[in-house]
């Protein structure tokens, strides 16, 4: 083993050691959630594993893994639900697991999500530690674990995979690893439409870096840097450009492929989403949905809850801005939030769509990190119990669409 490889291995080992408390805490919260789901499902004579791997979107993903694209369902009202709406990276991984093991694609989706959720937790820790320190990193991971819809992180859905790719891409941007950042952004773009948020973060950070360098050059007068420094600067700039060029290839490639397959050109994917009644309307449909809740007293309580939830999300983003989070985190969280709240998709899915917006949790993580360890542990424990109970109730009820 070369000296460089040995140093890289040592660095990874040290990074894992630092992240270990966050990962162990995350695994404990997820295990509690799965246990609660199993007990709740058994009490209702349902199979918890089926709820995790063969319902809702998970069923669509496993069908793509087994049969490929081209399947659609025509509803009585004329809507067409096509599996082209689902991006391909998760089905590809499900098929890969099925081909190299005795597991089915649905089982593969569960395995991928479990591993990806741990990778996502590690990525969230890495970002939070880099910006605010190790204790805040641990708290950020635990807060992400105890979100009310955290059970989705253990489902054969694409949220965990996407969050893992997004978090590590953002960490690569923050640490100047531009080609890694662009490659992970490209993969995120093959996972979910919101991969555009990762692309936007990479591009925003890249443009800001070029602007800072231009200003620094302008302020440097006529002094010339040594040739070695100039060469290194050119190399960094070239890697940054390459990372920025790589970032959009995943999302753009799939959208263009769908347009070609449907024969409707570059906007064909939007037609596919329209068949699911998904689109971006600036939040008009969601606002109208909330307003309709106030037409009667019982539903008005739900309307108040929705307003409080939206207000909390917006307030957290404002706090992120006021605390001067790094630009790529603000851009990423802003785009994820805007796409989730301003889309005309099924409104019950919005909490799940916000799951990857982990930078919104960093202000809360900083506050939690400032509490005494015993108090913060009790608070996280209580939230974990509530989230576990809600996850079991949710999946055995209407569940995530």
Q: Which residue is it, tokens 């301003």?
A: 342
- Rounded to an integer, what distance in angstroms lies between the CA atom of residue 324 and that of residue 132? 11
Q: Which of 94-103, 125-134, 344-353 shows the lowest per-residue confidence on average (mean pLDDT)?
A: 344-353
- Angle value at C-alpha 88, between 83 and 90, nearest 5 degrees: 110
Report the alpha-carbon distance of residue 219 to residue 217 in Å, rounded.
5
Q: How far is CA 216 from CA 87, 187, 203, 226, 241, in A?
A: 41, 33, 20, 16, 19
Instruction: Say which DSSP state 295 is in.
Output: G
Mean pLDDT (whole number) for 381-390: 96
Rounded to whole angstroms, the Cα distance separating 118 from 247 reads 23
Q: Pairing relation of β-strands 80-82 and 72-74? A: antiparallel
Q: Count CB-CB contacts under 10 A for residue 333.
A: 27
State the Cα torsion 156-162-167-170 to the nearest 10°: 170
Residue 66 has pLDDT above 70, yes or no: yes
User: What is the pLDDT, as a whole number, of residue 231?
Assistant: 64
Q: Percentage of residues in the chain with pLDDT exceeding 90?
A: 71
Q: 3-state DSSP call for residue 360?
A: helix
Q: What is the pLDDT of residues 147-168, one digit of tens each?
A: 999 999 999 999 999 999 999 9
Neighbouring-strand partners of residue 80: 74
pLDDT tier at 401 (50, 70, 90 boundaries)? low
How many angstroms separate the CA atoms of 39 and 48, rounded? 8
Is the pLDDT assigned to residue 331 strictly greater than 80?
yes
Task: Report the phi/psi class of residue 351: left, alpha or beta, with left for phi > 0 and alpha for psi in -120 to 50.
Answer: alpha
CB of 178 within 8 A of CB of 188? Answer: no
Phi/psi zone of residue 56: left (φ > 0), alpha (ψ -120 to 50 degrees), beta?
left
How many angstroms separate the CA atoms of 168 and 173, rounded? 9
> Which is more confidently placed, 135 or 55?
135
Q: What is the mean predicted confidence (pLDDT) over 378-397?
A: 94
């Amino acid at each position: 083993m070369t000296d460089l490889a040995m140093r890289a291995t040592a660095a990874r080992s040290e990074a894992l050691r630092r992240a270990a408390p966050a990962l162990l805490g995350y695994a404990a919260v997820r295990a509690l959630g799965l246990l609660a789901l199993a007990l709740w499902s058994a009490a209702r004579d349902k199979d918890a594993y089926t709820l995790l791997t063969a319902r809702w979107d998970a069923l669509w993903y496993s069908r793509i893994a087994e049969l490929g694209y081209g399947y659609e369902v025509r509803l009585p009202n004329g809507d067409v639900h096509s599996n082209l709406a689902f991006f391909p990276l998760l089905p590809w991984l499900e098929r890969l697991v099925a081909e190299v093991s005795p597991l089915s694609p649905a089982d593969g989706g569960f395995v991928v999500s479990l591993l990806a959720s741990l990778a996502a937790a590690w990525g969230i820790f890495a970002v939070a530690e880099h910006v605010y320190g190790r204790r805040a990193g641990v708290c950020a991971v635990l807060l992400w674990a105890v979100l009310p819809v955290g059970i989705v992180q253990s489902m054969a859905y694409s949220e965990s995979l996407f969050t893992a790719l997004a978090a590590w891409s953002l960490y690569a941007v923050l640490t100047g690893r531009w080609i890694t950042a662009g490659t992970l952004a490209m993969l995120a773009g093959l996972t979910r439409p919101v991969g555009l948020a990762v692309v936007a973060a990479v591009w925003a950070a890249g443009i800001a870096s070029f602007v800072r360098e231009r200003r620094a050059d302008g302020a440097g007068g006529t002094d010339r840097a040594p040739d070695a420094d100039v060469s290194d600067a050119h190399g960094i700039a070239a890697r940054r450009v390459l990372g920025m060029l790589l970032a959009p290839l995943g999302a753009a490639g799939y959208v263009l492929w769908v347009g070609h397959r449907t024969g409707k050109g570059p906007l064909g994917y939007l037609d596919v989403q329209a068949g699911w009644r998904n689109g971006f309307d600036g939040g008009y449909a969601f606002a109208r949905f909330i307003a309709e809740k106030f037409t009667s007293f019982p539903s008005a309580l739900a309307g108040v809850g929705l307003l409080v939830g939206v207000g909390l999300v917006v307030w957290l983003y404002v706090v992120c801005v006021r605390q001067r989070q790094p630009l790529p985190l603000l851009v990423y969280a802003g785009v994820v939030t805007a796409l989730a709240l301003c889309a005309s998709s099924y409104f019950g899915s919005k909490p799940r769509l916000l799951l990857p917006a982990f930078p919104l949790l960093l202000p809360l993580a900083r506050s939690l990190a400032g509490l005494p360890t015993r108090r913060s542990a009790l608070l996280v424990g209580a939230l974990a119990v509530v989230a576990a109970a809600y996850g079991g109730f949710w999946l055995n009820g209407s569940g995530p669409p």
